[in-house]
Amino acid sequence: MWKILGEDAIYIDIPETWKRRMLAMCGEGEKEDVFKKIVSGSEVTYLLNGTTEEHTFFINLSDDITPEQIQILADVTLDILKKSEYPCIEVEKQIQRYQIIITNYHEPEIIGLNKTPGMSSGAVFMPIIKGLSSPGRENTNTVRDNFW
């Protein structure tokens, strides 16, 4: 059985269980209110690396979160995990290695209905092509001297 911060969870519920438990365990205060606001409005995803057996929780932030708020988020997260009487993740009574990644990176969509503007396959490579063919850039693949 999987346990996330002391609560039983099935694999597909791990991110939501982790998010719910972190919100419940954060306590009260000014920093904790910032933590609750950010985590409540963020998507939490989970990844298990089967090779290293390391568990990763991603807190995916929106772009309007300030660096100060990110620092508060990190501080409160660390406080919760240090003070918790439960391990972050436990599988069949074995405490597991884990990491928490706070990010606001959004993978651009190249195809599909929600395609990111300017990210068609040609647009992705245009900066590279322009960099290679810009005026003033020496083309080392041409012959300079007349060797006849």
Edge-first strand listing for the sheet containing 2-4: 7-9, 2-4, 89-91, 94-95
Domains detected in the chain? 2-103 (3.30.300), 108-137 (no CATH)
Predicted TM-score of the model (pTM): 0.71
Q: In degrees rounded to 5, what are phi and psi of residue 59?
A: -100, 110
Summarize pLDDT for 106-145 with one digit per residue, the tens.
776 766 677 766 666 566 667 777 777 666 666 566 555 5
Summarize pLDDT for 18-49 with one digit per residue, the tens.
999 999 999 999 999 999 999 999 999 999 99
